[in-house]
Amino acid sequence: MKPDLEELCKCFPPSLLDAWQKGDYAMLTDSKASTYIKGILIEKAKQRQGRRFFGEAFIASRIEMK
């Protein structure tokens, strides 16, 4: 049995990317992600401040974890 795959398109305000690039990770700390995932994302964010990881972190912080 194949797992279900859901495709989503999420948009973000440019202010989130600006804050991210300045080291403000509030979008992660205030997210719906589990505490464990938040910790991983914040540590990686400190090392990978580029736009690509921002997108990955944004999506990971917006989807409900099961």
The pLDDT tens digits for 4-52 are: 877 777 788 899 989 988 889 888 888 878 888 888 888 888 888 777 7
**What SS3 string covers 26-45?**
HHHHCCCCCHHHHHHHHHHH
CA 10 to chain CA mean position, Å? 11
pTM for the full predicted model: 0.69
Q: How far apart are CA 13 and CA 3, in angstroms?
A: 31
Burial 17-36 (b: 16+ CB within 10 A, else e): eeebeeeebebbeebebeee
Tokens of 61: 């912080």
Selected residue with higher pLDDT from 1 and 20: 20
